[in-house]
Amino acid sequence: MITVAWDVDDVLNDLMLLWLQDRWLPEHPQYHINFEDIIENPPHKILNCTLEEYLNSLDSFRQSSKYHDMPANFEVLSWFKNHGYKARHIALTAVPLRCAGYCAEWVLRNFGQWIRTFHFVPSLRQGEKIPQYEINKIDYLRWLGKVDILVEDKEEIIRQAQDMGIKGILISRPWNKAVLSLEEALEEIDTVNK
């Protein structure tokens, strides 16, 4: 049985979209930005703010009831209901330590029937001093050594995973150049798993 690693935010859910609509824009009414305008991730330059201001806002959202109540991506959840039993699934995300528990709880509550383990590489925040075992997801995948497919929204991570022999499936977001629709991308998992 193959193992599929799933990025969490902006793959299993629509974090950037919901954060932008529910947190950033209401707090910054002077900006007229649509989700489609977020062509860089992180988007702090597009938002005309510092990276730290963006990260603090995003982390605050992750710790709120809005994140807790955020729905799973409907198409991804539907795929799991129909095909999830065909492979092993793990979550692999880059999230700050202070938000990892919120993220893990969200994953297990929404996808725990299929995703049985939660892995994260801490995204360091200013002033945070924690042991760093791996620098990024690729280091973690190399250490783990058991993943066949990575489902992710960042092109560079997909490229690096593919260099390691892991099948990369890029989920279309405004900040990447994915050519497949979400439905087509999810069908790619089934193609590998035959």
Map tokens 């824009």 to a residue: 25
| Domain range list for the chain | 3-14+72-192, 15-68
Q: What Rg do the C-alpha atoms of the chain give, in angstroms? A: 16
Give yes or no for a contact between 189 and 151, defined as CB atoms under 8 angstroms apart.
yes
Neighbours of 186 (CB within 10 A): 20
Residue pLDDT tens, the chain, 194 long: 999 999 999 999 999 999 999 999 999 998 889 999 999 999 999 999 999 999 999 999 999 999 999 999 999 999 999 999 999 999 999 999 999 999 999 999 999 999 999 999 999 888 888 898 999 999 999 999 999 999 999 999 999 999 999 999 999 999 999 999 999 999 999 887 66
Is this model's pTM higher than 0.85 or not? yes
Check if the beta carbon of residue 192 is closer than 8 Å to that of residue 149: yes
Give DSSP secondary structure letters for 42-63.
S-TTTTTS-HHHHHHHHHHHHT
SS3 per residue for the chain: CCEEEECCCCCCCCHHHHHHHHHHHHHCCCCCCCHHHCCCCCCCCCCCCCHHHHHHHHHHHHCCHHHHCCCCCHHHHHHHHHHHHHCEEEEEEEECHHHHHHHHHHHHHHHCCCEEEEEEEECCCCCCCCCCCCCCHHHHHHHHCCCCEEEECCHHHHHHHHHCCCEEEECCCCCCCCCCCHHHHHHHHHHHCC
Fold of 3-14+72-192: Rossmann fold (3.40.50)
The Cα 56–Cα 71 span in angstroms is 22
